[in-house]
């Protein structure tokens, strides 16, 4: 850029020669993700990743001292501590929309192995990864950089490999070889944990334990495995912009690097990594059917100068062909239904049309 043009940029705050769509397309076509950019030796962040100043994190040292995301010990969930655990889930889901789970029954070695192979996948040579790169929602296993790259105003410093179980189980032969065994094993355990959470959440809502399973609210999963490489200028971007999940529930595994934050009482609070723990968070769809009893809360991942960071988010979705509305038990003359009837397909179509970017999809469905 010439000096004069640079001055124009300073004067008018906008570069007339900046064709964002073109730069996004060129980057997408490399199929190498942000890991590819880092490997190419960049030291400055390409501008498609730079977020507007007003949305960038302002470090608030007090929040994480004042508040702590509830940690729930699942020991004794079958009998002696069940009621206590249900109460803790209820309290956390109503106030935080987030909680961490320890002693949940999934072997730590299965969790560690999953995080390891996700890193291995993303650290393969570009030529190997490239064949999995796709934005086609019909592909059940695919790798991409930012699901909303083409619609969002600013991109995030994150790559993802996704496994979509919406239409039922997948043939493990269709997974990349490096992660085949670990993903398979991980899913075996996560499905059991999902069934358990379905029971405990039903009871936390004051319903019969098989309620959420019977209405097929926890029917299928999409598993997104994120890779956040070290970021050359972490103060200018995000790992994941603030958003709430469109799912019924999300079961998240994060490694020990940190960076996940949740909005609580208008402050960003760190979800401190605990080795061997899962994070659970209420999704928009659960908030909708519970008529706002359980809260789907905004969260984000800050970009870091240490890493890479890996995480695995299992988004649990309702039956795609069924319509849902706030459950009768949560509506009355004094507290009428707050949302109109919808299904997850319609919900996701609306959600995806906006990109993460802090947009809230739920109010669009409010009566």
Cis check for the bond before 308: say yes or no (omega within 30 of 0). yes
Q: Is 245 in the site for Ni ion (CB under 5 A)?
A: yes
Contacts to ligand OGA from residues 205-224, by CB under 6 A: 224
Q: Which is nearer to Ni ion, 172 or 258 (CB)?
A: 258
d(CA 209, CA 246): 23
From the list ligand OGA, Ni ion, none, partner contacted by residue 193 (C-beta under 5 to 8 A by kind): none
Q: Is 148 in the site for Ni ion (CB under 5 A)?
A: no
Q: Which is nearer to ligand OGA, 182 or 313 (CB)?
A: 313
The contact mask relative to ligand OGA for 229-258 (x = CB under 6 A, - = no) is -----------x----x------x-x----
Q: How far is the CB of 220 from ligand OGA (least distance, A)?
A: 16
Cα atoms in the Cβ-side hemisphere of radius 13 Å centred on 261:
26
β-bridge pairing 238-243 and 249-254: unpaired
Q: Is 301 in the site for ligand OGA (CB under 6 A)?
A: yes
From the list ligand OGA, Ni ion, none, partner contacted by residue 106 (C-beta under 5 to 8 A by kind): none
Q: Which is nearer to ligand OGA, 85 or 303 (CB)?
A: 303
d(CA 160, CA 158): 7
d(CA 245, CA 297): 8
Q: Is 261 in the site for ligand OGA (CB under 6 A)?
A: no
Contacts of 93 (CB under 8 A, 6+ apart): 99, 201, 204, 282, 294, 295
DSSP state for residue 160 in the 8-state scheme: E
Phi-psi region of 268 (alpha: psi -120 to 50; beta: other; left: phi over 0): beta
How many residues interact with ligand OGA (rule CB under 6 A)? 11
Q: Which is nearer to ligand OGA, 70 or 258 (CB)?
A: 258
From the list Ni ion, ligand OGA, none, partner contacted by residue 260 (C-beta under 5 to 8 A by kind): ligand OGA
DSSP readout, 293-331? Answer: SS----EEEE--SS--EEEEEEEEE--TTS-B---GGG-
DSSP state for residue 367 in the 8-state scheme: -
From the list ligand OGA, Ni ion, none, partner contacted by residue 226 (C-beta under 5 to 8 A by kind): ligand OGA
Q: Is 287 in the site for ligand OGA (CB under 6 A)?
A: no
Q: Which is nearer to ligand OGA, 99 or 330 (CB)?
A: 99
Binding site for ligand OGA (CB under 6 A): 224, 226, 240, 245, 252, 254, 260, 299, 301, 311, 313
Binding site for Ni ion (CB under 5 A): 245
């Amino acid at each position: 850029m010439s000096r004069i043009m640079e001055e124009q940029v300073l004067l008018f705050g906008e570069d007339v020669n900046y064709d964002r769509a073109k730069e996004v397309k060129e980057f997408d076509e490399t199929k190498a993700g942000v890991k590819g950019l880092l490997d190419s030796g960049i030291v400055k962040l390409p501008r498609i990743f730079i977020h507007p100043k007003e949305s960038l994190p302002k470090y608030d040292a007090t929040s994480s001292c004042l508040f702590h995301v509830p940690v729930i010990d699942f020991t004794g969930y079958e009998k002696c501590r069940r009621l206590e655990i249900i109460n803790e889930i209820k309290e956390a889901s109503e106030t935080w929309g987030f909680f961490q789970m320890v002693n949940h029954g999934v072997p730590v070695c299965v969790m560690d192995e999953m995080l390891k192979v996700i890193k291995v996948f993303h650290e393969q040579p570009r030529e190997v990864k490239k064949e999995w790169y796709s934005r086609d929602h019909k592909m059940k296993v695919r790798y991409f950089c930012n699901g909303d790259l083409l619609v969002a105003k600013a991109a995030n410093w994150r790559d993802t490999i996704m496994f979509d179980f919406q239409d039922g189980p997948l043939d493990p032969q269709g997974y990349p070889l490096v992660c085949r065994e670990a993903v398979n094993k991980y899913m075996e355990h996560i499905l059991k944990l999902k069934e358990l959470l379905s029971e405990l959440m039903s009871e936390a809502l004051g319903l019969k334990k098989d309620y959420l399973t019977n209405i097929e609210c926890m029917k299928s999963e999409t598993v997104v495995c994120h890779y956040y490489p070290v970021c050359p200028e972490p103060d200018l971007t995000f790992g994941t912009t603030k958003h709430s999940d469109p799912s019924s529930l999300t079961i998240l595994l994060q490694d020990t690097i940190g960076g996940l934050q949740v909005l609580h009482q208008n402050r960003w609070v760190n979800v401190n990594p605990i080795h061997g723990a899962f994070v659970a968070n209420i999704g928009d769809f659960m908030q909708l059917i519970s008529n706002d009893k359980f809260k789907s809360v905004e969260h984000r991942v800050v970009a870091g100068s240490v890493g890479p960071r890996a995480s695995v988010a299992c988004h649990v979705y309702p039956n795609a062909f069924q319509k849902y509305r706030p459950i009768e038990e949560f509506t009355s003359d004094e507290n009428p239904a707050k949302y109109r009837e919808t299904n997850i397909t319609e919900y996701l179509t609306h959600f995806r049309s906006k990109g993460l970017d802090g947009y809230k999809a739920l109010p669009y469905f409010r009566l």
